[in-house]
Structure 1
């Protein structure tokens, strides 16, 4: 099986109806709190504002947020998650008209309201403690 590089970056143009599907596996046991982070940047560099940030602390919690004007907004946190230690994961992010909808391992789990127009997203980044097998972006 071929793996993608982590830090994975791709210039994109997304809009309502777009989706991002991520497949991979955490590279360490949950007792070591591995992480997965997915960021939807407004620009094409890491200093840009972030329309949507998803951060999974495996075995602990999932946090969603946005960064505007260089400042993070209020976090939306969930402690219920379907990921299993040592098992592959699938995260599917749908861009809806008023929110991002996150499906984890086939179950619609989380939503995050748009803080920034999703059509302004120019780059996605997937990184942290995972082996990535695929990142699929559907316009």
Structure 2
């Protein structure tokens, strides 16, 4: 399967019940501190508000947050690291009524309560140190 371009941008509509599945592999060894950013934007520009920011600092931690009016909210940081050095991953983000539910390789690891209405999400932006093989929205 051919790799998708990174950064990857796609216009979306993510009502409650929808999900995003991202398949990829980190492009650098964890010793080089690679990252993965997944942003759910409320507009079609990168400077728009972010209803959900999911940042993986591979080998270290995960950060979840929002950006509203150009200002970042209170971040939620988790030391749980289910991603493995050099290994393919499947990241799933399910839009539930009150929160996002995040799975890695089929197991739930994180939740993040909605601070901005997910119904306003218009674009998904995936970027940083990953090779993407698939992005599926259902």
TM-score, normalised via structure 2 length: 0.98
Offset of residue 45 of structure 1: 0.3
Output the CA distance in 1 between the equivalents of 2:133 and 2:85: 17
> What's 1:73 paired with?
73
**Secondary structure, aligned partner of 2:119:** helix
Output the CA distance in 2 between the equivalents of 1:43 and 1:64: 19
> What's 2:127 paired with?
127
Output the CA distance in 2 between the equivalents of 1:83 and 1:48: 29
Offset of residue 70 of structure 1: 1.0
Output the CA distance in 1 between the equivalents of 2:106 and 2:78: 17
Structure 1 stretches (4+) deviating beyond 4 angstroms? none
Q: Which runs of 5+ in 2 are unaligned?
A: none
> What's 1:107 paired with?
107
Aligned residues: 138
Q: Which runs of structure 2 are paired with 1:1-139 in the superposition (5 Å)?
A: 1-138=1-138
Q: Which runs of 5+ in 1 are unaligned?
A: none
Offset of residue 106 of structure 1: 1.5
Offset of residue 69 of structure 1: 1.1
Output the CA distance in 1 between the equivalents of 2:18 and 2:12: 10
Offset of residue 60 of structure 1: 0.3
TM-score, normalised via structure 1 length: 0.98
Give a deviation string over 1:82-122, Cα, whole Å, max 9, x none: 11111101100000000000001221000000000000000
Give a deviation string over 1:6-33, Cα, whole Å, max 9, x none: 0000011111001000000000100111
Output the CA distance in 2 between the equivalents of 1:32 and 1:90: 21
